[in-house]
Structure 1
């Protein structure tokens, strides 16, 4: 059995048991809270009725203290249960990925679809049943964006690709660490929330909340409040009107400053769950020792200029955010009126931002980077037989053994394939449904994965650095009044333009110029292939135009391959194995008959 699925099943069952135990514990704590409250109120009321005020005070402090302790205990148990439930979800998804149910995952990255991208639409990089949907385990907003950038903007430097490969290899073995990070990230309420507002707050200047004048006003009014309260309780020098007056003055001051105070305070409150989780994730990464240099370099970013750890700094922000959250409590009103607490929290927040605000964006980007790397690492963990490709700057373009499509699971058929020289063009012919288009996508998606630093679906794979361009899925665009043929021309124009700027182009063309007549299609394809090859661009073309195969005789860098079908008792079958040469079989009429159309 697959090692990955063994781990997922074991971990899922273990955490399901933990969830069951914690649900029972949470229920028991809830009952204890209720019992403590009822007994505490009844006993306190009885003692108070006996005029035993000292004993009443002691009993009240005890049962209220126990109640608060049970509340905290209840909250921690709920957090542990939520964490265990997140791990159950993570491992369920791992099982589904291995078993082929990943195309039902809700997050498929459809919003990243870009019709103008050189290859993403044709190679199923984002969208339904895509590479993104299959491998994505990110749970933060920035993590999703980082993974999207990995897939749509792959690396072009060999050293950077090798560096990322080493990281992915290491993280693939650190499944427990990856799942800890993933589980914590999943606990963020509204986890898809864009942190832009938080980062904008961290990077901008606002009202200086620790100025000498603000300190004088806040401390002066606070001193006045407690002086009046003391005099009112212990002397007869003043009346209650003075306390009402100072409260009214504090209300005026708080109201006047409310707009300036609430902006920052509300922003931090909005992201308080995320801040707490960011601290935990950073702590996991800080405490873990990594061998790969790329992760070591990332971890170096988790320090301030003075050497303070990011987890400690975010922990301070979390503490402030907890104080801000208390503004929603009824008791906070009294504290705020007495101490002008809004000003004091705002001052703490201002000091934090002045010292550390400039680091926040980088720290969140490091978390996003680790999440994206963890997504790539799942590929290796779940597919041990796949290889990490050898990527180079040489002229040998592509060589693969047992190359298969990574998204097809148990349905995939693997092939050996080689493209030797720059400027080489491979024609793929074959009958309908024989596997031509799928093979083009197989080569393309594995090239993209190799440039991302991920393992590929092959037993061995080496490739030169090239820019991938495709023209495969083209259709009419009624909104832009563009026919499918013209849409294809526009796609090919981009490939031609790119080849003029860079000879290291790898193109994939499916049924080239299929929107026009056979004569124009043949002539246009011939001219295009000669031009691209002459400029050093390399690629693959699937076609039903068997005459294009004749270019092999006049162009040494052109080669023909084909897929073929066979019949068993009149039933059409395919083996999807790549063979050299031009296709010698046809099946269109057989398929037409299968559709119920009578052929005379």
Structure 2
């Protein structure tokens, strides 16, 4: 089963988008080749739900982070060889020789550039094959890592005796017959094997780039456990896209499956919830996470409700859009799925009395589903005073400190329910009432 994260969740967490400002994808997109970028996008779109597969991928990243390697090739080099090999050659050597002969004749008679372009592409391909052989021979000396089998397969292909002559081609030049021989070898006899090598190098680009980013950012790798373990714990968990972000501890299990979060506006509630959801998503990808350490049981997916818009075309008010979102999540939770659920300020689109009643009822109902993990934030602190009697709900808040009547924020979680009511103080500080007098 594939990991669930619907469009609303992807938008709330700003996960995807090559050109989207501050997206998590763009943070990790430090690869050099277009092929690696395509693989990166596939991994972002398809998080894993098998703990063994997750741990194997994270182990590969750990290995390359320990090696601290550069990826010594450019996108132009691999785009050229990819294009060259993807264009199938003739089935027989003689067919290739005749085709090249025609190109050469046309080049001499009507100044057609196809023969010269083929020659240049072949030279570029041979050089990259030789350089790749040197790189992978050095890299594959270490056999104690989970990517070794793929490296060994690529090494065997590149060290095929049929490719040996390519190492000395510059000494003898590229005659028409040599070009035909090499074209037939590369585009026909060994095409499938060499395309496999290219895919291995795209993976190398991705693993090396992401591992180097993890070392630079001080990220760690989460340990994945089977769903039945029912845990999620982390130290100094923080938002991966924020420089010098404040970290917080997190702990969930079956008997402690909900956080009821309070705090003033600007205290950091939304950022904390996004940080947790983003890191859970990255952990299911086997990617580095922004924490000092992290362990988690695999989940079926994530649902968030952070920036739910109204829908004027369908006649939905903001409140009704919120209700529909809660209904969608309730359907998924009640179907037996094991989910991480984030609700940022439930029912803020209605009056205080309805918001209180709805927050209390919905939070109580969701808390019964111990296979799921929830964070629910609200300004309705009165609901928290009732809910704190439930043993499986953690009451946490983000404090506001007043310094000379100016609010300051620690962004550090504290046990309990916030009593901060500084809204009017901030309004007065900004001089709004004086402007209106």
- TM-score (structure 1 length as normaliser): 0.59
Which of the numbers 138, 149, 164 marks the counterpart of 1:287? 138
Distance 1:493 1:472 in 2: 15
2:126–2:166 contact (8 Å) kept in structure 1: no
User: Deviations 1:545-578 (Å, cap 9, x if unpaired)?
Assistant: 2243256256443232111212111111111121
Q: Does 1:458 pair with 2:344?
A: no
Distance 2:84 2:328 in 1: 39
Distance 2:337 2:292 in 1: 28
Distance 1:314 1:117 in 2: 51
Q: Does 1:122 pair with 2:12?
A: yes
Distance 2:159 2:320 in 1: 57
Range with greater deviation from structure 2 (455-464 or 432-441) = 455-464
Which of the numbers 583, 588, 594 marks the counterpart of 2:418? 583
Cα separation, partners in 2 of 1:156 and 1:269, compared to 1, 3 Å: farther
Cα separation, partners in 2 of 1:388 and 1:549, compared to 1, 3 Å: same
Counterpart position of 1:552: 387
5+ residue gaps, structure 2:
none
- Count of residue pairs the alignment pairs up: 421
User: Larger radius of gyration, structure 1 or 2?
Assistant: 1
1:185–1:277 contact (8 Å) kept in structure 2: no
2:28–2:210 contact (8 Å) kept in structure 1: yes
Counterpart position of 2:30: 137
Q: CA deviation at 1:430?
A: 0.8
Structure with greater proportional helix content = 1
Distance 2:362 2:81 in 1: 47
Counterpart position of 1:201: 87
Q: Secondary structure in 2 aligned to 1:293?
A: coil
Which of the numbers 328, 331, 342 marks the counterpart of 1:508? 342
Counterpart position of 2:159: 309
Matches within 5 A, 1:41-440: 116-117=6-7, 119-126=9-16, 127-175=20-68, 178-179=69-70, 181=71, 183-185=72-74, 188=76, 200-202=86-88, 208-210=91-93, 273=124, 276-277=127-128, 280-281=131-132, 283-288=134-139, 289-302=141-154, 309=159, 313=163, 316=166, 341=176, 345=179, 348-383=182-217, 387-393=220-226, 394-410=228-244, 412-421=245-254, 424-440=257-273
Counterpart position of 1:78: none
2:80–2:121 contact (8 Å) kept in structure 1: no
RMSD after superposition: 4.4
Cα separation, partners in 2 of 1:353 and 1:492, compared to 1, 3 Å: farther
Distance 2:308 2:131 in 1: 46
Q: CA deviation at 1:358?
A: 1.8
Q: Does 1:595 pair with 2:426?
A: no
- TM-score (structure 2 length as normaliser): 0.78
1:423–1:534 contact (8 Å) kept in structure 2: no
Distance 1:408 1:174 in 2: 26
Range with greater deviation from structure 2 (430-439 or 475-484) = 475-484
1:282–1:367 contact (8 Å) kept in structure 2: no
Distance 1:268 1:548 in 2: 75
